Amino acid sequence: MALKVLSALDSAKTQYYHFKAIVVAGMGLFTDAYDLFCIPPIMKLLGRIYYSHRRRYEVPASVTSAMLGTALLGTVTGQLVFGHLGDRVGRRRVYGLSLLLMVISSIWCGFSMGTSRTCVLLSLGFFRFMLGVGIGGDYPLSATIMSEFANRKKRGAFIAAVFSMQGFGILVSSTVTMVVCAVFDKATNASPGDETPEVADLAWRLILMAGAVPAGLTYYWRMMMPETARYTALVERNVDQAAKDMQKVLSVSLSQIAELQRRRTTRSISNQHPTPV
């Protein structure tokens, strides 16, 4: 019966739910790219606040590398932890948890606290690490869930469509940064040589917190997704539940699964005993 369910998934026609899954999974990759690539221009803003005494407000290379590295270290950690949990307790449960961690960490980054430069940068680095953990969990889970929902014919194209959202995330991160800076520049009427640390401080916090918006918008839809039929059938060994879950989101019924198996059995018998001419 498990093979019948998997065969029905592989042969299912491309349907509305496939495109919905692309958007839901793709928004996670969109947010991943936004959060990872928005930090370089933010370091420029931090330079105007905490390194105004340096030439051209340059942040030391060690500080910039540490801020970039903490998120990447968290990404590696998240891939290992959430990838393992996804195989142990199910894709759906862990999928929502990784996204929730991304939302909360993005907001935390905007509220990095402290009255000194060291405190702010340390707290930002810690929250960036936690954000990276959520991002790391989203990478393997998005690819796995999309591949397990997709049919055999379009699986590669669907996964490529999900990961293509990263490019849009990078583009939007730069766009949001430019828009926020332009708005504050217009509001303050500051000239290029003016020092406005208070404005820069508010700007970089808003840019980081904006990363929580796309992730938060898709959280509900992720929690409404059923467990993938492949996981339910092969890992949990609950074939009946897998068939029911598949029937909810894809136009494949139990009778169609049985009919598909009957046709394959008939075809196999025909190949073994061809009709004499």
pLDDT digits (tens, 9 = 90+) for 41-81: 999 889 888 887 777 778 899 999 999 999 999 999 999 99
Amino acid identity at 113: M
Higher pLDDT, 77 or 222: 77
Measured between alpha carbons, how far is 258 from 261 in angstroms, rounded to an integer?
5
Identify the pLDDT of residue 224. 86
pLDDT in tens, 151-196: 888 888 999 999 999 999 999 999 999 999 889 888 877 666 556 7
Q: Is domain 16-226 annotated with CATH 3.30.2320.50?
A: no
d(CA 40, CA 268): 60
Looking at residue 277, its pLDDT comes to 47
Q: What is the pLDDT of residue 172?
A: 96
- pLDDT classification of 119: cutoffs 50, 70, 90: very high
CA distances from 99 to 32, 124, 130, 199 (A): 10, 19, 12, 30
pTM of the model: 0.84
For residue 218, what are its two tokens? 């898709």
Quick one: pLDDT band at residue 133, thresholds 50, 70, 90? very high
List Cα–Cα distances, 118 to 113, 161, 244, in angstroms: 10, 41, 54
- Pair 146, 21: CB distance under 8 Å: yes
